[in-house]
Every structure is written in structure tokens, then in C-alpha cells.
Amino acid sequence: MSARHIGIRFTLSLVALIFSTPLHGQQVAVKEQVLANGMKLLLVERHDEPSISGGWVAHVGSSNERPGITGIAHLFEHMMFKGTPTLGTKDYARDLEIIQEQEKVRDAMRGEEALMRAAFRRGEIDDLMKPENKTPRYRELEASFKKLIEEQRKILVKNEFDRVYTSGGGSHMNAFTSTDLTGYYITVPANKLELWMWMESERLYHPVFREFYAERDVVFEERRMRTESTPLGKFAESFEALFWESHPYGWPTVGLPSDITAISKAQADEFFGIYYAPQNITLILVGDFNPAAAAEMAARYFERIPRGAKNPPDFVPVLLPQPAEKRMYAEAEANPQIDIYWHTVPFMHRDQYPLTVLAQILSTRTGRLYKKLVMGSQVATEVTAGQYARKWAGVFNISGEARDGKTPEELERGIYEAIDELQKAEVPPEELQKVKNNFAAGEYRRLSSNFPILQQLIHSEGLGDWREINTAGAKVQAVTAADVKRVAAQYLVREQRAVGVYTRKAGSGAGGAEDDLSGLTPEQKPIMLKIAAQVQAEGSIEKLRKSLQGLEQAGASADPKRKVFLNLYKKKVEARIAELEKKP
């Protein structure tokens, strides 16, 4: 997996949120109103299917954090499923008592942590995370805290929020956090709209952040699996920090390790009060309902929530101009590859549209990069391009994996040659029109059902303006060949870019020895490297065993080349299962 997929597309991949450009003339009829407490409501009436896709956007992401509490926005995504006074516990009164007792113990533990950090600065201990470096008092407090956790677990009703929805016919419930927004969504039958209203308003009006510190540990483990346990995770994190420099986009959405383990519930309560206030939230409903009745119901349920005491602070960081090219070289347990970022423009900037068209001209199997570098010179096994507009800034990315016997530098030179061609000559009319047609057709398909429309509204509203779902298509269709040439020359320049060069670490392979890959074709090797990383990051034995069953079935009818690939895949899964079974 390239650093691009980990660093930029990590949150978008959770909900398949991609740039919205509906077919010219195809409009989504959105009714907007603002509730008395400042909460915005967007309604899209569609009677094509007897269901409603509902969601909401909290206008907060990792860019709204600060050093010391990075990861808190993502942590809140987890905490919002922990329930309410009536969901998630058998004894709410005792539940609250335990939470208060836990806070007293954690306050004392933080005092010991301060002593440990002082010892670390003096060089008396080498690692704050090692159990042997904890003070005797900290260990006593830790034992007391574990007892409180065990007592609380006896009265918890795990996953009750999910079960209530599922029993009512709900599906696709999930949430995601990005640099700029946090989105929540689910699809329910049309006759369960009031259930949605009650469930969503309750978790905003009466949230109970039970198991806060346990969930904090879950997030820390999620970070370990995504970052430390993947071939390129830690390098991608460093590359993002290098590229964004002092901007908040430079720290990971999942948070930095020391921050995740230090966030207190008091800090979380303050964060919720500011960023989950009604005036910072947009509700979105798409589906089979009466708009007037839905608006009345929304007012009845959500106007109970008082407006926040203060509005979220303005976002003030400004990305400083980059004075020179940046480069990072890394040895990784992955195929040699190149990852190039260029600073571009934010969401809804006028140059976003020609840059998006430019990326499509370069990318896909019919694009210039694939034809030139994969099919032509054969220096790459794959190569992709994309323009990713965030709320406050953007990045244009090209990444590719070098074919066996080729170097990342050779691939890099080929990429620059393709860009140079676009900077010197306008794209032929037929090539430009083909790209525009692909955009239009793809976005038309995404307007075919409730759920993808909800996704696009969450994306557009979270990044700037829901109206983009209706206006972006015409802006893409208006892009000219001169526009493409101009943005290629203006943004894809040396001073604007950062380059990550990844070479294979000596002796490494797809999770084992280099000769593990010897029986694979050149096209299969990079795929196996990605699969091996995913298998190694998987922590569920049950999921791994299901994968093993599927591989055995697929192998029964596979051709010889495919069978070699599947056998190696099985070997990786079996090794991971054995590793997990050894753990206590």
C-alpha cells in the first residue's frame, strides 16, 4: 500500500467519499432550514425506496485539535456510540458513581505520570510506556482502576445502541473522522424515522462517556494496527508531517501516541461542549418521508438540546509557502515505490476543478501515466494520481510502485516527463471530453439511491457547502484544455512538492523472507505485499479463519499461477492465526 492511501485517503476510504460532480442538469432537491438552537437541517425527499438514510455532520476534525490532544476528534467518534442514561447500562445511578470514582483515581495517576515524565527528562528511565518504569504508587492506582473497570463491565449493556437500530431494521451504521469533519450515518426503514430522531438526539442531548479510558486504549491499539504494524504506516505519518510542516494537517487523525494516552475525560467534556454544540452540527435526511412532518419532528427532538454557550473558535492557521522541494528516503518492507505531493487548493477553490480533471487525465488504466509507465516503458506495476481538496488546503498526489529491476528514481523521472507534456501542450479535445464524460456518468450513478446521496451531502457540507453537490458538475464540465495546462504549470512545480522514495529493506518480503515472493508474477508481488500487511494488522482470529475458508474454496478451482498466489496468501493467514493464538 502506498503512503498516499494511508496518509490522505485513510478517512475517505471508510465511507467511499469522493469528489462530487453530478451530471450537468441533474439536481438534488435539498430543503434547508435552521432550528431554534442553531442546528442546520437538510432534507432530500425521495420515494424511490421505502427507506431513509440519515446522518449528521459535526464540523470538527483533527485540524481543530492542538498539540497535546491530537486524536480527540477521532476518539469522540468512538465515544458517541457508548450510549445514554437509558442505553448501555443496567444501573445508571451506579454507572455514574463508578465514572466519578474512576476520575478520582485517574487524577492521582496523572500526578504520578508527571513524576515519570520528569524522570524521563533526567534520563533516569528510558521509556514511559514500559511497565517496569512505572512508579509503585502508579501501579497501585492502576490496580484500583482496573477493579472499577471490572465492576462497571458487570452493569454495562455492550453495543446496545447498535442492537436497538438493528432490531428496528437499521443497516450500514457507522461513522468516520477526517481532518475537517466527523460524520455519522445509518439507513432505517421509512417507518422508523422517529426512532432515528430519538436515538440521534439522545446521544447528543444525554451522552454518557462510559468506558472513556478503555476506549482510549482501543484507539491506541487501532493506531498501532494502522500505523506501527503496517509496512508504510510510520513512514506515511512522517511524510505527512514533512509536507504540511506547521499546519494542523500534519498530525495524524488517529492522534499521536503520547497524546492519545494522555487525553483526560475533562478535556473530552470541554471538547464536546464546544464542537458538538447544536450550532456546529448539520442534520441530513435522504429518503421516503414528508418534509414538513420530518422538519416538525426534528424540531421536537433536537431543539431540546440547548445552544452551546460559545461558538467554536475560528480556524486561523495558514499554510506558509514552501520555499524548496522536500525529500524523504526510507527503507520499508514493501516494494520500491515513489510518492509525490504538491501543494494545491482547498475545497471549492476555482482551480480545484481543472486540477481534478488533470488528475483523471493522468490516472486510471486509460490515463497517461498507466499507458506511459506501466504499458509503455514498463518501469511501474501501478501508478495513480489524485487531487484531494481539504477544507483549508489541498494536495495533488502521484504515487506508483516500481517494477522488479527498476528503481523509484526511474519511475519518478517518467512521472515528471508526463507532467512536462501537459505543461507544454494542451490536452486534445477528445481526451478532455472523455474525462468529462466519465465524471458525469459516475456522478449520475451516485445519485441513484439514498445512501450515496447522503454520503455526498456529508462530504460537501462538512468541507464547506452542501450546494456543491449541485454546482460542481457544471464547473467540471466548464474546464478547458487551457485550464488544465495552466494548473499543471502553476501547481506541479518543484518548489511546491515533497517526494517520498521507498526502497525495500534488505532481507524483507511479504511479511517474511524475500524468497517468499519468488513464485509470484511481477504483477502479483505488489498485491501480495499489501495483503500481507493487511493480514498482519488483523486482530480477529474469527475473521482470519473465515478468510482461510474462502481461500481454500477459491484454490480448488484456481489455475496454477493463481494457486501459487492463494497458497502464499493462506500461509500468511495461518501464520497470523498461530501468532494470535499464542497471545494470553
Q: Mean pLDDT check: name the lowest of 83-92, 265-274, 573-582.
A: 573-582
CA 386 to chain centre: 16
Q: What is the pLDDT of residue 22?
A: 41
**pLDDT at position 203, please?**
96
In 233-354, beta strands by DSSP E = 281-287, 326-332, 337-343
Q: At what angle do helices 450-463 and 468-477 cross, to 10 degrees?
A: 90
Architecture of domain 23-302: 2-Layer Sandwich (3.30)
Q: Fold match between 23-302 and 326-504?
A: yes
User: What three-state secondary structure class fits 176?
Assistant: strand
End-to-end CA gap in the chain:
30
The residue-averaged pLDDT of 57-62 equals 98
Which are the contacts of 275, defined by CB distance < 8 A and separation ≥ 6?
58, 59, 60, 64, 73, 76, 312
The three three-digit cell numbers of residue 143, written as one number? 490496580
CATH topology of domain 326-504: Cytochrome Bc1 Complex; Chain A, domain 1 (3.30.830)
User: How does residue 522 score in pLDDT terms, banded at 50, 70 and 90?
Assistant: low
Q: Of 452, 462, 492, 455, which Cα lies nearest the Cα of 351?
A: 492
| pLDDT band with cut points at 50, 70 and 90 for residue 542 | confident
Q: Regarding predicted confidence, which is higher, 4 or 223?
A: 223
Q: Are 60 and 312 in contact (CB under 8 A)?
A: yes
Please give the Cα distance from 486 to 484 (Å, whole number).
5
Whether 20 shows a pLDDT value over 60: the answer reads no
Asked whether residue 385 carries a pLDDT value surpassing 70, the answer given is yes
Distance CA 133, CA 195 (A): 50
**Which pLDDT score is estimated for 500?**
97
Q: Determine the average pLDDT of the residues in 251-258.
A: 93
Domain residue limits, the chain:
23-302, 326-504, 514-582
497-504/326-332 β-pairing: parallel
Q: Is 80 exceeded by the pLDDT of residue 511?
A: no
Name, in order, each residue with C-beta under 8 angstroms of 281's C-beta and a sequence gap of 6 or more: 39, 40, 56, 57, 58, 59, 204
More confident residue, 177 or 538: 177
**464-497 residue pLDDT tens:** 999 999 999 999 999 999 999 999 999 999 999 9
Q: Name beta bridge partners: 340.
A: 398, 499
pTM above 0.85, yes or no: no
**Between the CA of residue 483 and those of 155, 184, 396, what are the distances in Å?**
62, 36, 16
What CA–CA distance (Å, rounded) separates 576 from 578?
A: 5
**Average model confidence (pLDDT) across the chain:** 89
Total Cβ atoms within 10 A of residue 413 = 14
